[in-house]
Chains A and B, each alone.
Chain A
């Protein structure tokens, strides 16, 4: 073994590296906690934990200023695995440490996998209205639906990211191109002011058809607050071989319905909405309950009684979802997340897909057991030492 290789090995198996990485970890977590005030929880996770470097923008150039979660976690993993591989000895005294670290490895891997795999959706259910899809919290899609066939809709979905880049989309199922004229990641809508338009102080709307001719979109700063949502708006022009068909205003504003139009002898609809994920089953809200403590508005419990049905009829049953009691079904977990203040017949569930959700449980069991064994050994040693006769200090 050359010196260089030995130094390399010694570096990766050393406890000094462990301590150094843990210190970096604390600094990273602390900075990320403070930055939540500015960025909100989602952006912080991307910036600090699900990255190799924390980047600061100097002008337009991102400059890495600190190792990110993936780098620190990855190095800790390497350090841990190599240290154990190098020093591994089968001994009872070491079993606690071994179990603890095996659990830790699993925990780090689990967090990595959740970062990659976990998806969050929301599902808004109205009483007695079956639904078989959930909607993304963060991602939207532009959909253009061919509704000519009464039995089947033909949906073309264009992700929000494509609109944001301003790419022109041509799709084999669409007899026209989709051109994004304007895109606002967050916006508010208000009615077009006729008097101002007449006076020439309000520019004409880019929309030529649909309600966009009557409504004006005002761009807003993107919000990171947890209790606010971004409402994306875009002006979309559809261009056929004979030229422009029209420009529509589309928005994820919840009150807006899809806009219908006719082209080439077929019926179409266009809408901008949270990305949907369809399920092989449907849920129907039977009853939403919101209990309060007597004489107060302090919530005591929220619960949703829901009917769960699959098309093949294999499952058809009632389930009750309430605080601290989610429904786990078909690899998804449904939680009672929220409700609408002025509509007691609506419940909002959070739907989480995380194939690795069991890993933390296993990891924690291993680590707790490992720590108990490790410190138990210490404790027994300490007690035995105390019992042994000790020379009285003269």
Chain B
């Protein structure tokens, strides 16, 4: 006996497949194909050539940008984790559950506010004649040049990633069984020993995920290096934008994009393994 076709499950299942298929997967696959096309007289022509790949990967400037972006993303992951950790510890162990929830909800808000306007505000705050230098000048220091430097870019990266890192860390720290910590104290472990041997291993998942999200967001951020870091030397995102906007060189920009995706995929895979792997 044939069962009657039931449309019900498909009404709920198909929208995602159709939309993300047509407008997420297909564009990415198309971009990958585009990296093998050729540009002649400012027009793109379908082809299967490795010209763009050879041109981009053979360029010293590309690799300079690659290592700079990778280094900055690693630094942002480490620095954000270190800055966030004391705050997360405090949020997880000294606040009431209600207080903690309120603090985390507050931290979610900036994630959804215009990063562009926030970067512009930093441009003004950190300017040569801006408020920070005015305060430092009152103390007889400076003025310091903070914009258009690695420092400026890092301020931008931290603004972008710190809230998220704190949320991840606090979430996993607050989930630790309190009896585990008391047991360590009862067995005579010092606070530092408890932190290193009990708390950090138990919260590993959130700590790693926080660092990885900081890495991913920094790696793909264009606003901080462009508006606060002075755009020179360029990062990979700046390279993509410059290449895209100059003379229809989309295929070369696609090469950069694919190298970025492969890098992110490798880092994310390794990190997930570390986050959810056996505790060693």
Partners in one complex: no
Chain B interface (Cβ < 8 Å from any Cβ of A): none
Q: Residues of A with Cβ closer than 8 Å to B?
A: none
